[in-house]
A and B are shown apart, each in its own frame.
Chain A
């Protein structure tokens, strides 16, 4: 903006050193700063990856010692880690499936229809996203304890799943709604004019068009679920998910294999995003 600001009145004014500084600031310093900011953001990711090829003595993997690939060749070589990752994946798939279905229906209702209570619905969708996770986890815990009997107590995989579906619904609604807002209703009207009934119109016209939004929401829900620690901490009982495993190991030292799994999850997620970008380009 400093550059744009200078452009017009420049002709009338002599260029002083302050102007030069402002232009330098705008042209170079902002970009240099952004480079450093991105490095700062990625630094921990780099550290995680670096320490996945470290060969520490003992369990404490916090100082660089020597390069090795042995943990990459045996990523589940510590007891319990495979089960923890499997549990996380299971809960992530299940909660993504349910939350995406429920959230998409809400998003459709909010964008496509005008009805009494839309404002209250919007607020009910927003508030879980603006509640600290610890409060949601704690309140679910008190409810499960108050019920005090199976299938809710003792806490188990089902209670984690219930919690993950709960916090994911809002994110799905918000993501799908964002894609639905620009939706051209004339396409549906055209289908109806050509004799399709509402059911056919939905599955043949509406659904394929909003599918990218639904997929984006599902990916977000999956990544939130698989990485959730706080709410899981309160609703897991003795069940160990991948984040719970890290939490338990943090005191005595996180095994190198955990860094390997963390790096793999990062690479897979980045791969998915790259894939969606490529597919999006091809579509366009």
Chain B
């Protein structure tokens, strides 16, 4: 009956007071996942208010009962066995956008995005870099440790 048997997801914790607004998280995410750099291709987005000096990030919080997971009609939204991350299998995604609608953070926070390649929408979201043994790339590259990866075990 150990709680470890349940795949609780880890998540990325943000400390705005340590953030210098460099955007490295966003660039690195886009680079790692898409081999290209563009905020619209990143699973994590940095918003800068240059005039007040405030920054904030938007990234999936990996919620406990992910609506995107339950609603997907083709089971393209999956849960990773190792990290517990909810992710979208791009090969299966049919681009219907239901996941986006089911997300409690959307549309206020852009945590599920899509790209249009060959006239087809493909949705994507943060997968906690499930295939990287070093953990999420944004956390590893953040110059000031403003991002921290909390594993599923530590989260509860």
Q: Report if A and B associate in a common complex.
A: no
Give chain B's interface residues, CB within 8 Å of chain A. none
